[in-house]
Structure 1
Amino acid sequence: MPQLVEPKLMSGNANLPLARSIARRMSMHRGINVDLVNARVERFNDQEVYVEVYENVRGEDMFIIQPTSNPANDNLMELLIMADALKRSSAARITAVIPYFGYARQDRRSKARTPISAKLVANMIVEAGIERVLTMDLHAAQIQGFFDIPVDNLYASPVFALDIKNQFKGKLNDIMVVSPDVGGVARARELAKRINAPLSIVDKRREKAGEVAEMTVIGDVKGKKCIIVDDICDTAGTLCKAAEVLIEAGATEVHSYISHGVLSGPAVERISKSVMKSLVITDSIEATEAVKKTKNIRIVPTAPVFAQAILNIWNGTSVSSLFDHETLEPIYEGIL
């Protein structure tokens, strides 16, 4: 098989700004112009997805950039149909770059007669002809095992560690990393180790889904600048309540670092009125105008890490090297 000249990028409508940013970063790394493949991804009047690729992709190494965020079903169908279009156009390999993997919260049967939707979505992705998946901070690590193809799961924590060291320079001894629930302890511990900070937990009891009845802080947060770490912020109810509980327990400041800012329903209003000094999210999901205008929400870019990961996959080199914040430091120099 002839050596492929360059990786080729294609994007759906889920997060075009991120796709363009990844293309720009790859152009900087390669020293030549890398652009998105010329294609149209549109809707018929009845909202059926239609895809047409205007460039020759025969024998090419294709990367489809498409988070399956809100509207999850539309964006998922775009991904599957783009993959089918590329497969039928004789692309050599198709990699799905899914910065936010929708349906990840349905990763097990929590009750009788419920689906495991994450597994169903994994099956659909494989059947569409996708041969590799690149994603970030899966809600549950075991979702990688739902796929019968390679899955590279990047982590936001190295990027967050760089940002914290920059934002809290000279104050790192005052920081306490906090997990908002027992299930997120491993994620919070990972970040705490990276910045050499202690760990605390907020134990929450739910009466029913979406409502938190009681919260208790496990650990001494008095006089500390608390950093809550989680992978998803949806309606922000738990997050804002946890911030209040931490302030009541003696924390001087509360900040949050969340990988995926779903931020649906009343989330933005809650955050703007919250005692949280800042909420830091990535751009894995395209931010709405309301999110961009909220003063205590800040967005850190993922394009540098995704661009490097795509190049590593294309070159056949290590993706796990990007798990180390020291590897990412030169990539993010001057950005954070």
Structure 2
Amino acid sequence: MRQTCIFSGSSHPKLVEAICERLGKAPDKVALKKFANGETSVEIQTSVRDQDVFIVQSGSSKTNDNVMELLIMINACKGGSARSITAVMPYFPYSRQSKRKSHRGAITARMVANLMHVAGVNHVITIDLHATQSQGFFKCPVDNLIAEPILAKWIKNQVKDWKEAVVVSKNPGGTKRVTSLADALKLSFGIVTTDTRRPNPNRSLETSTILGSAIMGSMGLDGTNDRFQGSPTSGNPSRQGSAVRDYGDVNGSDGANDDDVFAPRRPSRIQTSGGGRISPPSLPLTNGNLRTPSSESQQASSGLSLNRVQTALGTTGAHPELTYDSDGESGDDFGDERARDVVTGRLIQGHIVEDDHPAPSPMISAMSPAHPLSQMQRANSDDDPPDNMMSSFMSAASSRIPEQGLGGTADAAASDEEEEAVLEDPGRETTITLVGNVRDRPVFVVDDIIDKAASWIAAAETAVKRGGATSVYCMATHGLFGGDSLRELQDCKEIDRIVVTNAFPIPEEKSRGITKLVTLDVSYLLAEAIRRNHHGESISQLFMHYD
């Protein structure tokens, strides 16, 4: 190609050589050095005046150095009067930090995009951004290529019974990616979800999500400061009939006279463990007046009882066990059938255990670095004490754990990194659910990144041990393989193959002795994207599947 310069960064020189070999030219010369204090020095040793410059720099184990080196190379080419500068980034660094995860967090992916714009980039080519909406961070065109056709071609050529396979997402965030591959191959798909709480259909209201805040914790079942206790027809026969609540505290008086009118209320969707329904007492339409001896005698003779029970949730009492009625009052308000082909399992330290396996000790869980209590203990003890408003239990601050919150920044807390930390926590038990029929079928667990191994191993063990799958293939575009994750995946008996591309460089010392690892070449994809961009051709064919 004429009037073209292709420079290689220090992150992935082998990939650049393969790209240039397909394009029929050698990489242009650039001197990449470091000073004694660690500063990066770049010297372009080829004229770039009026040239289309392509700088190939992926992420690696030295991400910060790679980013800084790329910025300096872009700015150096801009200063050399290049016609256009295109950054070819097979793996975009900091792509997983595309949203704010706390009130004082940073959207780092947007910051990197802004830095590249300031340096002088005119175009960006990348593969499988972690979040496709990250393209909006750039002020220049972005070609977000996909490795799906390459993975699909390998599946068709290497897996014999691939037409019977199921494509599975190991978390809800990757569902769109999985359904796209499943549609291209005309396969079924499934999804794996995890929850830190064990499923318990008889779970009481004390553990429910909506009643977990400090304010709701002081209220009764119908929203008042009192709570009904016991069955209205149990105990003394003279107390049979409609139960009446003592509303002395609510209405500012000691009780209610015989002139109070009670309006019928819609029964609560709460059941007793025996199948009966508790209908909480109705609210008075008029404020109660001061109790008189005559009103007390009249109420006693009518067989009505006045009971005051504890208001704090979590205390023991003589009330029956309360459970949710998810089907409404008549039991058939919602006609949706229960999802079929759903299997669940218990995870302890990221591995499937039997149902009768003892639960981990709560003390171990509290001592874990990933546990919220440990995070609170690590807070600065020298902070100023809260004011009276903040110290009140009626404060507007929620008492819910952020990872279980609904809405706000708590939704962003459940990142892949935190999910892996929870699975590896020896003191926390996790429930894993697989939705989809995988029995006697091969399974393709697909995501864009393989970094840590816990969630991949959990999905593979669930598919084989619980779902009855015949084989499991872990497939991703970028194989980061942090720590000893590659060795852990190799040692997992339920995993048959680990399929990634060479978009991210894998150190030779990590891949040595890994027999399950399969690396697919993306040099053709990137070389064709460079050629088409240089000649002004469409790149739509790069998104199509081929045999």
1:141 aligns with 2:132: yes
Corresponding residue number in structure 2 for 1:282: 501
Q: Answer whether contact 1:134 1:153 (CA < 8 A) is retained.
A: yes
CA drift at 1:206 = 5.5
Any idea what the Cα deviations from partners look like across 1:221-251, whole Å, max 9, x if unmatched?
1111000110011112111111111111110
Distance 2:473 2:86 in 1: 35
* Percent of aligned pairs sharing the same letter: 36
Distance 1:94 1:80 in 2: 11
Any idea what the Cα deviations from partners look like across 1:158-208, whole Å, max 9, x if unmatched?
110111111124x12221111111110100111111111110111123685
1:308 aligns with 2:528: yes
Relative to its length, the structure with more helix (as a share) is: 1
Distance 2:478 2:504 in 1: 7
Corresponding residue number in structure 2 for 1:251: 469
Corresponding residue number in structure 2 for 1:231: 448
Distance 1:271 1:42 in 2: 36
Matched residue of 1:325: which SS? Answer: coil
Q: Answer whether contact 2:52 2:84 (CA < 8 A) is retained.
A: yes
Corresponding residue number in structure 1 for 2:422: 211
Corresponding residue number in structure 2 for 1:196: 186
For 1:211, the aligned partner's letter is V
CA drift at 1:295 = 0.5
Distance 1:183 1:148 in 2: 26
Matched residue of 2:124: which SS? Answer: strand
State which of 172, 175, 195 in structure 1 corresponds to 2:165: 175
Q: Answer whether contact 2:447 2:476 (CA < 8 A) is retained.
A: yes
1:45 aligns with 2:36: yes
Q: Answer whether contact 1:69 1:75 (CA < 8 A) is retained.
A: yes
1:132 aligns with 2:123: yes
Distance 1:268 1:256 in 2: 11
CA drift at 1:130 = 0.6
Q: Answer whether contact 1:134 1:154 (CA < 8 A) is retained.
A: yes
Distance 1:292 1:68 in 2: 21
State which of 479, 487, 512 in structure 2 corresponds to 1:261: 479
1:24 aligns with 2:21: yes
CA drift at 1:75 = 0.4
Q: Answer whether contact 1:69 1:101 (CA < 8 A) is retained.
A: no
1:318 aligns with 2:529: no
Q: Answer whether contact 1:236 1:270 (CA < 8 A) is retained.
A: yes
Q: Answer whether contact 1:41 1:49 (CA < 8 A) is retained.
A: yes
Matched residue of 1:214: which SS? Answer: strand
Q: Answer whether contact 2:3 2:50 (CA < 8 A) is retained.
A: no
Corresponding residue number in structure 1 for 2:74: 83
Distance 1:62 1:313 in 2: 11
For 1:270, the aligned partner's letter is E
Corresponding residue number in structure 2 for 1:333: none
Q: Structure 2 vs 1, CA of residues 273 and 69 (structure 1 numbering), >3 Å: closer, same or farther?
A: same
Corresponding residue number in structure 2 for 1:13: 10
Structure 2 matches for 1:93-104, cutoff 5 A? 93-104=84-95
Distance 1:230 1:206 in 2: 22
CA drift at 1:68 = 2.5
Any idea what the Cα deviations from partners look like across 1:100-151, whole Å, max 9, x if unmatched?
0111111111221111001000100111101000000000000000001000
Q: Answer whether contact 1:8 1:37 (CA < 8 A) is retained.
A: yes
For 1:214, the aligned partner's letter is T
Q: Answer whether contact 1:234 1:262 (CA < 8 A) is retained.
A: yes
CA drift at 1:320 = 2.2
Matched residue of 1:286: which SS? Answer: coil
For 1:108, the aligned partner's letter is K
State which of 285, 291, 298 in structure 1 corresponds to 2:511: 291
Any idea what the Cα deviations from partners look like across 1:288-313, whole Å, max 9, x if unmatched?
11225310111000000000011011
Distance 1:200 1:67 in 2: 32
Distance 1:262 1:206 in 2: 26
Distance 1:220 1:247 in 2: 11
Matched residue of 2:168: which SS? Answer: strand
Q: Structure 2 vs 1, CA of residues 97 and 292 (structure 1 numbering), >3 Å: closer, same or farther?
A: farther
For 1:109, the aligned partner's letter is R
Q: Structure 2 vs 1, CA of residues 293 and 320 (structure 1 numbering), >3 Å: closer, same or farther?
A: farther
Matched residue of 1:285: which SS? Answer: coil
Relative to its length, the structure with more strand (as a share) is: 1
Distance 2:21 2:194 in 1: 43
Aligned length: 317
Distance 2:74 2:461 in 1: 45
Q: Structure 2 vs 1, CA of residues 81 and 239 (structure 1 numbering), >3 Å: closer, same or farther?
A: same
CA drift at 1:54 = 1.2
Corresponding residue number in structure 1 for 2:46: 55
Q: Structure 2 vs 1, CA of residues 206 and 72 (structure 1 numbering), >3 Å: closer, same or farther?
A: farther
TM-score, normalising length: structure 2: 0.57
Q: Answer whether contact 1:280 1:298 (CA < 8 A) is retained.
A: yes
Distance 1:173 1:39 in 2: 48
1:166 aligns with 2:179: no
5+ unaligned residues in a row in structure 2: which ranges? 198-369, 371-417, 424-429
Matched residue of 2:97: which SS? Answer: coil
Distance 2:194 2:32 in 1: 43
Q: Answer whether contact 2:100 2:107 (CA < 8 A) is retained.
A: yes
